[in-house]
Amino acid sequence: MRASRLLSILMTLQARGRVTAQALADQCEVSLRTIYRDIDALSASGVPVYSDRGSTGGYRLLEGYRTRLNGLSLEEARSLSFAGLAGPAAALGLGSVMAAAQLKLTAALPIDMRAAAERTRVCFHLDAPGWFYEKELPPYLQEIAVAVWNQLLIEIRYRSWKAETSRTVAPLGLVLKSGAWYLVGLVGNSARTYRIARVRELRVLDDTFERPADFNLESYWTQSIERLENKLHPNRATVRLSPIGFKMLEPLTSTFVSALTEIGEADADGYRTVVMPVGSLWQATSQLLRFGIDAEVLGPPELREKMRDAIRNLHDRYDNHRLS
């Protein structure tokens, strides 16, 4: 137990720099006296731990001191974030170093725990892309990953759905979403998202940049997804669904739409009236036509009229009398 606590203290000091004795005690759930004894034990074992007095004081390691447990290299340590994600790690050029890191970690485990670790490896598999979609292997992914790690500016020629543009980007991070890779980077002072498969040209510059201290990739991505989903679904549609249509609601809509859909009670025939988020008239019409005869749009009136026009056009197109 003490060995585990000493290791935790050492890793905390290495990761966070100066840490107070009270913070260490709270983290380890022990008394201050125990922390003092643990610091003495680390010092006696040759770890260069120093104390700074005063209101901003605390314990810290000698500047530049680093420990390499189990001989892990920097690249191998990076790859641990992708443990179990062999495909993404290989796409980033970390396949071999991830394998080496996992081998070292396995060797460090007690013998009685290795079998359990191996069972975990063989019993779980992550398939990131959605159904019926292939994973992307963008040609510039590894070069962009190197730029992210080394904080190097990049120049990209990017093809969006609107136009093709050139940008100088400070790459802050990479996100893998449903099998597609995205770059989050700063253009000026604005954080933007780029799908890496749409990068047509890339040049990694020699110029470096300072990563904003308050930028959190996970928070940025979560907030971006929320903004995008709200932007794409600003309206509401009232729809009457047959029992079959109600069963199709989840597989034919996104999790965002399903979660925000208001579902009414079933009537005597099993039909339900739901109120669901939708986008523009064109988007909503295309989405709801997928339900076929198992959905009837009740409102708003302009969407019902749009559906009526679309169905009339489809009828005219498939009218047998028009076939030669």
Task: DSSP for 203-237, please give it.
Answer: EEEEEE-PPPTT--HHHHHHHHHHHHHHHH--EEE
Question: What global pTM score does this model have?
Answer: 0.61
- pLDDT band for position 15 (cuts 50, 70, 90): confident
Determine the average pLDDT of the residues in 107-123: 63
49-58, 201-210, 301-310: least confident range:
49-58
- 293 contacts: CB under 8 Å, gap ≥ 6: 242
Amino acid of residue 271 = Y
**Inter-residue contact 212 to 219 (CB < 8 Å):** no
Which pLDDT value is given to residue 168?
97
Check residue 53 and give its pLDDT: 75
What pLDDT is recorded for position 119?
67
56 compared with 227, residue with greater pLDDT: 227
Spatial separation of the C-alpha atoms in residues 163 and 15, rounded to whole Å: 43
pLDDT at 114 over 70: no
Question: What is d(CA 74, CA 149) in angstroms, rounded to the nearest whole number?
Answer: 11
Q: Please indicate whether residue 188 or residue 112 has the higher confidence score (pLDDT).
A: 188
pLDDT in tens, 207-234: 999 999 899 999 999 999 888 888 889 9
Q: What is the pLDDT of residue 85?
A: 63
The predicted pLDDT at position 131 comes to 72
Determine the pLDDT at residue 177.
87
175 pLDDT exceeds 70? yes
Give the model's pLDDT for residue 200: 96
Helix, strand, coil % over all residues of the chain, rounded to 5: 50, 25, 25
Alpha-carbon distances, residue 10 vs 15, 18, 31, 49 (angstroms):
9, 11, 17, 9
pLDDT in tens, 59-104: 888 887 766 555 555 555 555 555 556 677 777 777 777 676 666 6
pLDDT score of 121: 66
Q: How far apart are CA 162 and CA 197, in angstroms?
A: 15
What is the SS3 assignment for 318?
Answer: coil
* pLDDT value for 8: 79
Mean pLDDT of 40-55: 81
Mean pLDDT of the chain: 84
Cis peptide before 300 (omega within 30 of 0): yes
Q: How far apart are CA 43 and CA 41, in angstroms?
A: 5
pLDDT band per the 50, 70, 90 thresholds, residue 259: confident
| Other beta carbons within 10 Å of 125 | 8
- 154 pLDDT above the threshold of 90: yes
More confident residue, 12 or 303: 303
Span of 44-48, 94-98, 151-155 with lowest mean pLDDT: 94-98
Q: Is the pLDDT of residue 197 over 70?
A: yes
